[in-house]
């Protein structure tokens, strides 16, 4: 059967080769607390963080994807989470405008990288916007969240600049402070999410938009299972999210577990470390 037209869940799902931006956690630390996972009193092993991050990069390369690197900068301990630095659609880049001053310096680093990498258009958000942390490209639309970081005004700005319709969702649980901690895009038409992270109205909207979504339970959500990177077939997710891995396998995807326990101390997982560079 042609994988591009296959609809059976047992058929191999079509995969698209992706281009990703990553940043090695050379200056990674938990020095401040801007989400409930961060505890500056708890020690962080930077060598282990680097080792775990290298494994993630190797997994992505092993799946055939192109990994590009952003130079880490001292004084920006969260810079490893490149997903928060921008949103890229069809070669157009909307650089983030971070909510917390501790991360503000990351915007300039992303701006410089994109300026040097010949993208069609590079703009910095005027509104508070944390990139793919809260703005997830899902086929014909962008799923956008607010509640903790990115604002509704930033959703409207993203729609204007990136040229895709934006669907606004409301996050309500501070543990799931970015959309990519509560929802993952699996392919053009399918997502997985943790319903309890959203307001009742957003839950209803998600049910209507994605009647066949995979739903995470509280345990898998707390294991950062929704912080996943999908290429349409392989879904790279934290190894603790066993129930999601099983559901993904049953739905015809290939779960690809990785372990990033050090980065999780900052409230991040695999998806936070990966910014997708979508060309025109
Ligand atoms: N410590 C970072 C913050 O709170 C973690 C960011 C994780 N990134 C993500 N895409 N969820 O901003």
Across the range 72-101, mean pLDDT stands at 98
Q: Ligand 1 centre and the CA of 34: distance in Å?
A: 9
Instruction: Give 12-71 pLDDT, tens digit per residue.
Output: 788 999 999 999 999 999 999 999 999 999 999 999 999 999 999 999 999 999 999 999
Nearest residue (by CA) to ligand 1, atom 6, is 268
82 CB near ligand 1 (under 6 Å) = no
Number of domains in the chain: 1
For ligand 1, is residue 233 a contact (CB within 6 Å)? no
Share of the chain above pLDDT 90, in %: 94
**Residue 95 main-chain phi, psi, to 5 deg:** -75, 145
Sign of CA dihedral 136, 18, 226, 10: positive
Does 11 reside within a domain? no
In a domain, 211, yes or no: yes
Residue 189 included in any domain? yes
Residue 7 has pLDDT above 60, yes or no: no
pLDDT, averaged across the chain: 95
Does residue 4 sit within a domain? no
Q: With bands split at pLDDT 50, 70 and 90, how would you rate the model's confidence at 5? A: very low
Is residue 187 included in any domain, yes or no? yes
What's the pLDDT at 120?
85
Residue 123: pLDDT over 90: yes
Whether 186 is in a domain gets the answer yes
Rg over alpha carbons for the chain, rounded to the nearest Å, is 17
Residue 147 lies in a domain: yes
For the Cβ of 178 lying below 6 angstroms from any atom of ligand 1, the answer is yes
Is residue 147 pLDDT above 70, yes or no? yes
- For residue range 231-278, list pLDDT tens digits in order: 999 999 999 999 999 999 999 999 999 999 999 999 999 999 999 999
> Quick check: is 10 in a domain?
no
CATH of the domain at 229: 3.75.10.10
What is the value of pTM for the model shown? 0.95
Long-range Cβ contacts of 147-152 (<8 Å, 24+ apart) = 147/171, 147/172, 147/177, 147/199, 148/35, 148/99, 148/174, 148/177, 148/178, 149/98, 149/99, 149/177, 149/178, 150/99, 151/127
Cα of 81 vs centre of ligand 1, distance in Å, is 6
E-strand ranges in 1-89 read: 19-22, 66-69, 86-89
pLDDT at 6 over 60: no
Cβ–Cβ < 8 Å for 248, 235: yes
Domain containing 196: what range?
19-276
Decide: 150 in ligand 1 pocket, CB within 6 A: no
């Amino acid at each position: 059967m042609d994988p591009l037209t296959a609809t059976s869940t047992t058929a191999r799902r079509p995969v698209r080769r992706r281009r990703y931006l990553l940043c090695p956690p050379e200056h990674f630390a938990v020095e401040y607390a801007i989400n409930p996972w961060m505890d500056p009193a708890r020690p962080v092993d930077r060598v282990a963080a680097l080792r775990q991050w290298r494994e993630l990069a190797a997994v992505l390369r092993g799946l055939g994807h192109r990994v590009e690197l952003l130079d880490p900068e001292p004084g920006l301990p969260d810079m490893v989470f490149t997903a928060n630095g921008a949103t890229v659609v069809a070669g157009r880049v909307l650089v983030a405008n971070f909510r917390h001053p501790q991360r503000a310096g990351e915007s300039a680093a992303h701006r410089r990288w994109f300026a040097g990498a010949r993208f069609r258009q590079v703009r910095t958000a005027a509104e508070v916007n944390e990139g793919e942390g809260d703005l997830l490209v899902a086929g014909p639309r962008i799923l956008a969240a607010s509640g903790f970081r990115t604002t509704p005004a930033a959703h409207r700005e993203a729609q204007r600049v990136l040229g895709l319709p934006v669907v606004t969702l409301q996050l309500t649980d501070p543990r799931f402070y970015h959309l990519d901690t509560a929802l993952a895009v699996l392919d053009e038409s399918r997502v997985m999410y943790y319903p309890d992270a959203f307001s009742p109205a957003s839950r209803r909207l998600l049910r209507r938009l994605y009647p066949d979504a995979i739903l995470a339970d509280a345990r898998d959500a707390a294991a950062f299972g929704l912080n996943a990177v999908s290429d349409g077939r392989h879904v790279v997710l934290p190894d603790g999210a066993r129930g999601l891995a099983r559901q993904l396998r049953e739905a015809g995807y290939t779960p690809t577990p990785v372990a990033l326990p050090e980065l999780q101390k900052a409230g991040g997982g695999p998806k936070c470390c990966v910014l997708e560079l979508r060309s025109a």
